[in-house]
Amino acid sequence: MSDLAVEPVAADEKTARSARSGLARLSFRNVGAVYVWLAIIVLFGVLSPDSFLTADTARTVLNNYSVTGLVALSLVIPMAAGLFDASVGNMVGLAGIFSAYAVATWDLGGGTAILLTLVLCALCGLFNGFVVVVLRVHSLIGTLATGSLFLALTLAISKEQSITQNVGRLRSVLAGHYVLTVTIPVIVFLALTVVLTVVMDRTTVGRSWYALGFDAEVGRLVGLRVRSLQMTALVIAAVISGVAGMLLTARIGSASPAVGPSYLLPAFAAVFLGATQFRGGRFNAPGTAVAVLMIGTGTIGLSLAGAPTWSSQVFQGVVLIAAIALSSFGRRG
Could you list the residues that contact other proteins (CB under 8 A)? 1, 3-6, 8-9, 13, 17, 21, 82-84, 133, 136, 138-139, 202-205, 207-208, 210-211, 214-218, 220-226, 230, 280-282
Please report how close the Cβ of residue 34 comes to other proteins at its closest, in angstroms: 22
User: Toward other proteins, which CB reaches closer, 10 or 180?
Assistant: 10
Cα distances (Å, whole numbers) of residue 290 to 20, 27, 231, 278, 302: 24, 16, 27, 10, 18
Closer Cβ to other proteins, 226 or 252, answer by number: 226
**Cα–Cα dist 263/247, whole Å:** 13
DSSP 163: B
Nearer to other proteins, 134 or 152 (CB): 134
**Distance (Å, whole) CA 101 – CA 256:** 11
SS3 per-residue string spanning 4-46: HCCCCCCHHHHHHHHHHHHHHHCCHHHHHHHHHHHHHHHHHHH
Backbone angles phi, psi at 53, to 5 degrees: -80, 65
* Sequence-ordered alpha helix ranges (H) in 253-284: 264-275
The least distance separating other proteins from the CB of residue 124, rounded to whole angstroms, comes to 20
For residues 176 and 330, which CB has a smaller minimum distance to other proteins in the complex?
Answer: 330
212 CB neighbour count, 10 Å cutoff: 22
Task: Please list, in sequence order, all residues whose beta carbon lies within 8 angstroms of the beta carbon of residue 158, skipping any fewer than 6 positions away.
Answer: 97, 101, 255, 257
Query: Minimum distance from CB of 143 to other proteins (Å)?
Result: 11
What single letter denotes the amino acid at residue 100?
A: A
Least separation, in Å, of the C-beta of 1 and other proteins?
Answer: 5
Query: Which CB, 231 or 259, lies closer to other proteins?
Result: 231
- How many whole angstroms separate alpha carbon 234 and alpha carbon 133? 10
Whichever of 20 and 177 has its CB closer to other proteins, that residue is 20
Amino acid at site 79: M
Q: Considering the complex, state which of residue 84 and residue 278 has its C-beta at the smaller distance from other proteins.
A: 84
* Minimum CB distance to other proteins, residue 53 (Å): 40
By beta-carbon proximity to other proteins, the closer residue of 136 and 159 is 136
User: Least Å distance between CB 141 and other proteins?
Assistant: 11
Q: Which residues pair with 255 in a beta bridge?
A: 163
Shortest reach from residue 132's CB to other proteins, in Å: 8
Whole-angstrom distance, CA of residue 118 vs CA of residue 246: 9
In angstroms, the CA 98 to CA 168 distance is 14
- Distance in Å, CB of 268 to other proteins, minimum: 16
Give the end-to-end CA distance of the chain in Å, rounded to a whole number.
Answer: 35
